[in-house]
């Protein structure tokens, strides 16, 4: 393994940056490539068939071009739908991002947890299996929000986020008969930790937020243990599938998170 072989992070947009941050802390001199599928964004409103076809094909092109040592699908929607297909297609380790239901169930005192993700993620059979295995004794409230994904993207473009918009986006999680008892919320979309302060201010009562970023960082560190890394941290490369005005507006946020160069695939 060449020291400069990167870890490649893939998401529909900028949500995966929440995963990169924790992995970078554990691997400070690693070479990172971050890919946002801006031409396919957003994934949460697409069909399973569209995502299952698009993600493996696109990752195949990316692996051929950038020769990473490891791929992280830093997107819950893509992981819950296409992870198995991608692993079968690529001859290198692939780490998925799935809802952190196990730690949420372990943390909950009321035994009522919320799963906040995209519409596509919260309806997946994969999530059903996680709930059956790790949260069988919990009441689970699921809510999908495409609006929250768009708000996270807007925040990283430097736009002002209205707290009322965040409240409206998450209202469905708390307005039902069990909403008042939720004490732990799974952030089942990597975009949502980017709105951590806004979410904390918008919830109707205090809750604990749980996401999978730390688990992904531990998995990446484990899979690359003992491998050589550059002596000096190389600048990260950000790649988009469509370099339009919206993508260019993300350049300052990407640079501030260690990706000063922005290119189109």
Considering 74, 189, 195, 216, which one is annotated as catalytic? 189
Considering 75, 141, 151, 262, which one is annotated as catalytic? 75
| Residue carrying structure tokens 């990260």 | 236
Mean pLDDT calculated for residue range 229-247: 93
Among 24, 74, 38, 30, CA closest to 257: 24
* pLDDT tens digits, one per residue of 115-159: 999 998 998 998 999 999 999 999 999 999 999 999 999 999 999
Residue 181: which residues within 8 A CB-CB, separation 6 or more? 110, 112, 139
**pLDDT tier at 1, thresholds 50, 70, 90:** confident
C-beta atoms surrounding 186 within 10 Å: 31
138 catalytically annotated: no
Strands 70-73 and 94-95, by their bridges, are parallel
* pLDDT tens digits, one per residue of 103-112: 999 999 999 9
Mean pLDDT calculated for residue range 5-23: 94
C-beta atoms surrounding 160 within 10 Å: 6
Among 16, 11, 7, 1, CA closest to 66: 7
189 catalytically annotated: yes
* pLDDT tens digits, one per residue of 29-59: 999 999 999 999 999 888 999 999 999 999 9
């Amino acid at each position: 393994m060449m020291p400069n072989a990167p870890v490649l992070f893939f998401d529909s947009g900028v949500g995966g940056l929440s995963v990169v941050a924790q992995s970078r802390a554990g691997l400070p001199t690693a070479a990172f490539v971050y890919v946002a599928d801006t031409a396919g964004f957003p994934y949460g409103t697409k069909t399973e068939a569209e995502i299952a076809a698009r993600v493996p094909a696109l990752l195949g092109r990316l692996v051929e071009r950038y020769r990473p040592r490891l791929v992280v699908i830093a997107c819950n929607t893509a992981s819950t739908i296409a992870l198995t297909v991608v692993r079968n297609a690529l001859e290198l380790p692939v780490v998925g991002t799935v809802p952190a239901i196990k730690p949420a169930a372990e943390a909950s005192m009321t035994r009522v947890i919320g799963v906040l993700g995209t519409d596509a993620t919260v309806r997946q059979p994969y999530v059903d299996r996680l709930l059956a295995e790790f949260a069988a004794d919990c009441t689970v409230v699921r809510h999908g929000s495409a609006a929250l994904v768009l708000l996270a993207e807007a925040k990283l473009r430097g736009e002002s986020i209205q707290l009322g918009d965040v409240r409206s986006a998450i209202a469905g999680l708390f307005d039902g008969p069990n909403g008042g008892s939720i004490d732990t919320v799974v952030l089942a979309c990597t975009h949502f930790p980017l709105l951590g302060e806004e979410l904390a201010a918008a919830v109707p009562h205090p809750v604990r937020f749980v996401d999978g970023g730390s688990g992904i960082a531990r998995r990446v560190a484990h899979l690359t243990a003992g491998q050589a890394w550059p002596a000096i941290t190389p600048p990260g490369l950000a790649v988009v599938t469509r370099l339009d005005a919206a993508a260019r507006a993300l350049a300052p946020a990407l640079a501030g998170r260690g990706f000063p160069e922005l290119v189109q695939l």
